[in-house]
Amino acid sequence: MASDKTLRGDAAETIKEAALRLFAERGIDGVTVRQIAEAAGQKNHAAVGYHFGSKHDLVRAVIVHGARLIDDLRCAMLDEAEVDDTLRTVTDVVRLLILSSLPPASPPWSDCYNRFVVMLQLANRALFMDALEGRWNAGYLRCLDHIRRLMPNVPAAVMNQRLLFLGAALGGVLASRERELADRSRSHPTWGDPETLDHAIRALSAMLTPGR
């Protein structure tokens, strides 16, 4: 028989998953605590407050959960690539950035998180950055360091601008992919093609290396 602690933990995870899906679809300001509780199958609408304290705290918990999944995967991929010396071009690094943004977790973390992050950063980037507390982005920063290493002749100010554009474009591509694939009512010739991500990788790489 499951313990009370296990049941509470399962309920909290279910609430986070329901919240992520709703936030990705409507934005955090377009979702109420009552709607989250109902989507999570909680008869008591006070369940969100019981497990997380407030909607604001729930948003922070969702941010951290997904960021940890991605950062853990990204750091593991980087560790392996650095040992094998396979990060030899900017395209290699961008490929790792994209593939590690697709954590092999079950939905909604694998098919909603990038949409959620893009919408949140447009509406409240300060909340997103504050929730991370300078953590769970170590892998992303390592990738940027590799890009700088591979392009030593680009002035720092120019490189910083290009990396800023890369981050925005990366989020946009991944969020668009999630949004399209979430529509089960039709086929998706572009995002259903396994070569599409490779085309996106090459396009994003070209943003960084236009004439160097």
pLDDT in tens, 32-45: 999 999 999 998 88
Q: Report the pLDDT value the prediction gives residue 127, as an integer from 0 to 100.
A: 94
Which one-letter amino acid corresponds to residue 109?
W
* pLDDT grade for 5, boundaries at 50, 70 and 90: very low
Q: Are 15 and 40 spatial neighbours (Cβ–Cβ below 8 Å)? A: yes
More confident residue, 90 or 182: 90
pLDDT in tens, 44-76: 889 999 999 999 999 999 999 999 999 999 999
Q: Considering only CA atoms, which of 197, 39, 66, 187 is closest in space to residue 120? A: 66
Q: Report the pLDDT value the prediction gives residue 193, as an integer from 0 to 100.
A: 87
- Look up the domain containing 96 and give its range: 4-208
Q: Report the pLDDT value the prediction gives residue 143, as an integer from 0 to 100.
A: 98
Q: Are 15 and 47 spatial neighbours (Cβ–Cβ below 8 Å)? A: yes
Number of domains making up the chain: 1
Q: Report the pLDDT value the prediction gives residue 212, as an integer from 0 to 100.
A: 57
Burial of 48 (0-12, 13-18, 19+ CB in 10 A): buried
| pLDDT > 70? residue 88 | yes
pLDDT in tens, 163-210: 999 999 999 999 999 999 888 888 889 988 889 999 999 999 999 987
Q: Report the pLDDT value the prediction gives residue 7, as an integer from 0 to 100.
A: 41
Q: Report the pLDDT value the prediction gives residue 183, as an integer from 0 to 100.
A: 86
Q: Are 194 and 123 spatial neighbours (Cβ–Cβ below 8 Å)? A: no
pLDDT in tens, 110-153: 999 999 999 999 999 999 999 998 889 999 999 999 999 999 99
Secondary structure element (H or E) that encloses residue 139, with its range: helix 138-150
Q: Report the pLDDT value the prediction gives residue 3, as an integer from 0 to 100.
A: 47
Global pTM reads 0.89
Mean pLDDT of 99-114: 89
Angle at 111 between CA 19 and CA 69, to 5 degrees: 80
Average pLDDT, rounded, for the chain? 91
Tell me, what CATH number does 75's domain have?
1.10.357.10
